[in-house]
Structure formats: structure tokens, C-alpha cells
Amino acid sequence: MTSGTMQTSDTTAINPRKGQTRPLSLLATLCALATGIACAAANGPDVSAPPPASLQTGQSVAVIGVRTSGDAGGDLGDAKVGFGLNQLLAEELYDSGHFRLLEGKAAGKTEVVKDLVESYWVGAREDYTMDDLDRVLTELDVGLLSYAVLSYSRVSRQSMNIGVFNKVQQTLKIDVTACLYGAEIRIPFCRAGRGEAEAGGQGAIYEFAGTLVDFQTNAAGQATKKALSRAVTELVGELTFSE
């Protein structure tokens, strides 16, 4: 009798606070396994809102935080990760050539942004409300605000012969939804991107270089950069800019 071979898979969402994983709900599992990206934002910002008619190019934008769609704790609970991701988002927006970043030395604004970024990463469980965003727009006196939501999931695949399991292979999927809001965008305009990396275990996702997160060294960091880049590319690609 020859042994048959079958493929099995298991999808889990990372619970960063405990450095463990928990089973995804059926809906989330279907989304994680789907080929499309839009459902990746099922538990985050709406990615179906149409783009505004146009935006004036060169508007100032304040990047006010990134959060995870689950509890931020463990290695992900470190505020330095949130600041690093926030900087990545700011760089992607700046590199698009359509935005000016809020001046870092703007009087009284640096600490406001710092507090927003830290609290959104470490403590936020929901997206900013439009009341929140309007208040921050006024406080920072900028044309636009940007923020993002990340979700992490692992998909395990293993080849199984009768009575014998082969080595488990895991893929870490990182979904990012990036958003813009402002006087000309009265409903948050959000688009999503995904990055993937092979993951060998359940340990820390990112690596540090001193006090900074190194998004270049390991596959997860590179996948995060790719997901953010894709989200911003989708976002900017649907916008029309005027001089």
C-alpha cells in the first residue's frame, strides 16, 4: 500500500501582547486565504470609500500613528516599533512627491504628534473617529492627516504522509491599510497593501539596531515595508492632484 500525501493548512492571527497566536474566526480565515487584498481591512478602516475629486499638490500632512488590529504587546508592544512604522509611512508619502511633511520643529506640534503616535500604537483598539481627526487637524493646523492599521497572520502549511508529518512551513502575512483625511477628504480615504515573508517560529517579528527598528535585516521587516509601500501606492494612484 502506498502512502498518500495531502496538504493541510492552518491560519492564525498573532496576539502580539502575549507573543502567541489565536485561531482566526471563520470570516477572518476566509479573508486571510483570499487572493484579494480588500478583505484584509475587514477589521480596520473601510477601503471602499471613493477618492476625493481632487487634492491640491504639496499640502502639508501630519502622520499621526499606526496601530495593530489586535492587542499591541510583547515585542510589538514596544513604542519604538510604532514610531518606526510611523516613519516608514511618512517616508512613503513624502517619496510620492505630492505631500509636504509637518515640520518636525513646528512650535508645540512635535510633542502632540509624538503623543498621538505612541498612544495609537500602544493603546488604540479602534480607528480614529472623525471627531478625533477634526480636532487634530485644527490643533496641528495642517491640510491632511495620515494614519495606518496593520494586521499580522501566519498561515501554516504542512505535507502529511500517513502517520508522518513533514516540517511545517509558515508564511507571515502583513496587511497594511493606509488612510488620508483632511478638509478636502471628509470621509477617510483608505487603501490596502500586503507583504509576505517566510516565518520559522513564533518569536519576535522585528529586529532592532540599537534603539531603532531595522526593517531591512529580516524578511518580516522587508515584508512590512513592501506592504506599506503598496498601500500608499494604491492610495496615491487613485488621487487626482491639482497645482
Q: What is the DSSP string of 113-167?
A: HHHHHHHHHHT--SPPPHHHHHHHHHHHT-SEEEEEEEEEEEEEEEEEETTEE--
Q: Where are the domains of the chain?
A: 5-237
Average pLDDT, the chain: 78
pLDDT of residue 243: 84
Query: What pLDDT, in 10s, does the model give residues 127-181?
Result: 999 999 999 999 999 999 999 999 988 776 655 455 555 556 678 899 999 999 9
pLDDT of residue 158: 56
0.85 exceeded by pTM: no
Q: Which three cell numbers stand for residue 30?
A: 476566509
Query: What pLDDT, in 10s, does the model give residues 57-94?
Result: 999 999 999 999 855 445 677 899 999 999 999 999 99
Which of 22-36, 43-57, 131-145 has the highest average model confidence (pLDDT)?
Answer: 131-145
